[in-house]
Amino acid sequence: MQIRGLTGMIIVFLVLAGCRTGDEAAARQFGRLKDEGADRYTLAYHRAVYLSTARDVEIGFAISLLNEMIADGYPTEARYCIDNLNRNGIRSGGLLALRGLCYQHEMQYELAMADFRAALVMDPEDPRIRELILNLKASRGLELTEDEILERARELMDKGRLDESESLLKALLEKSGEHHEATYCLGLVKLGKGQYDSAYRYIQLAEKTGDRPRSGEYITHIASVLEGETLIGSNPHTFSGYLKKSRGLASMGFFDRAQQVLDGGLESNPDNVNLIMAKALVWVQAGERETAEVYLLQQEQRGIRIDPGLKRQVLTTQN
């Protein structure tokens, strides 16, 4: 059976835990089969036999085998194995969600959704199960609730798929009018895209309706970025604008962007100690202390005079 695309992904439910003795022996057996060039059918057969007969299989190991069966094109066989595990008293939210994924491969969408929802009841804190529900609804053209749209938009934002996230958030705002959480998230998307004016406007608007995580910090740091851009625009040969913009970016965790800004300032001010120290500080903030130390040593070797106390202060800054 060919695997059908599920929005280009299969959620892998892996649980980090030690294997029992039988699992370890089985893992070695499957490894030998792979090394000997066993085909997918043979591997699926041996996995299914083990999962159908083992009485004390560790759930994490079972899930890893089931994922391999699904990935190799045997979702129905994997589903039978999950049913056997359930009958043997081996149950978890992850196993139930995997069975739903098997049903989805088999185009039994109602059964898939039922298993996903039951899995979410068993493990309500697992975001991967909620993601399966959202992906199934999206693939079937089912209408999402406002909360589901917002959750999907956040998920896309976290994965760096900012254009898709923005489209969902704008659609939600057009549909519901004032949706303050969507407004805030849209501000974060704009920030991720480097559209600082829009980010500032949306986050500030959302903050007026209630506290949001870090909204005050974002507003302060984005304002610093915008002020820096204004200074650079009015006089690109002074260093103060580059410093202000880079500090705002680094404070929000955009370390690469901050370094690019400082590089722009150093093009016209290559010996400016303020910009040089700022570059070192950004590396320290990003957890690259050794890189900062090497960079400052290189600057000193080319004749830049750096105050030892200031150098020590920068290199010992807590990131």
Per-position DSSP letters for 57-69, written without gaps between them: --HHHHHHHHHHH
* Same domain? 233 vs 309: yes
- The answer to whether residue 278 sits within a structural domain is yes
Domain termination site, one of 79, 112, 139: 139
pLDDT of the residue at 211: 63
Number of domains making up the chain: 3
Residue 11 lies in a domain: no
Q: Is 94 inside any structural domain?
A: yes
- Is 95 part of a structural domain of the chain? yes
Between the alpha carbon of residue 21 and those of residues 26, 45, 56, the distances in Å are 9, 21, 10
DSSP code per residue over the chain: -PPPPSTT---------PPPHHHHHHHHHHHHHHHTT--HHHHHHHHHHHHHH-SS--HHHHHHHHHHHHHTT-HHHHHHHHHHHHHTT---HHHHHHHHHHHHHTT-HHHHHHHHHHHHHH-TT-HHHHHHHHHHHHHTTPPPPHHHHHHHHHHHHHTT-HHHHHHHHHHHHHHHS--HHHHHHHHHHHHHTT-HHHHHHHHHHHHTTS--TTHHHHHHHHHHHHHHHHHHHH-TTSSHHHHHHHHHHHHTT-HHHHHHHHHHHHHH-TT-HHHHHHHHHHHHHTT-HHHHHHHHHHHHHTT----HHHHHHHHT---
Amino acid 15: pLDDT: 34
pTM above 0.75, yes or no: no
On whether residue 10 sits in a domain, the answer given is no
Domain assignment of residue 15, yes or no? no
Euclidean distance between CA atoms 207 and 104, whole angstroms: 41
In-domain check, residue 29:
yes
Indicate whether 205 and 233 sit together in one domain: no
In CATH, what number is assigned to the domain containing residue 275? Answer: 1.25.40.10
Shared-domain flag, residues 59 and 130: yes
Check whether residue 78 and residue 160 sit in a common domain: no
The helix-helix angle for 196-207 and 215-234 (nearest 10°) equals 150
The pLDDT score that the predictor gives to residue 21 is: 53
What pLDDT score was predicted for residue 304? 93
Domain check: are 233 and 124 in the same one? Answer: no
135 and 47 assigned to the same domain: yes
Domain holding 308, by residue range, is 217-315
* Cα–Cα distance for residue pair 314/319, rounded to 1 Å: 10
Report yes or no: 114 and 104 within 8 Å, Cβ to Cβ: no
Single out the residue of 146, 73, 67, 127 nearest to residue 99, CA to CA.
67
Separation CA 11–CA 308 (nearest Å): 52
135 and 175 in a common domain: no
Q: What's the pLDDT at 88?
A: 84
Judge whether 3 lies within some domain. Answer: no
The answer to whether the beta carbons of residues 292 and 306 sit under 8 Å apart is no
pLDDT at 1: 38
Q: Which string of b and e fits 70-88 if b means at least 16 CB within 10 Å? A: bebbbbebbbbbbeebeee
Q: Residues 183, 242: one domain?
A: no
Which residues of the chain have a pLDDT value below 50? 1-20
Residues 196 and 237 in one domain: no
Same domain, 63 and 128: yes
d(CA 282, CA 266): 15
Q: Which domain-ending residue is among 213, 243, 271?
A: 213
Question: Same domain, yes or no, for 57 and 69?
Answer: yes
Same domain, 175 and 231: no
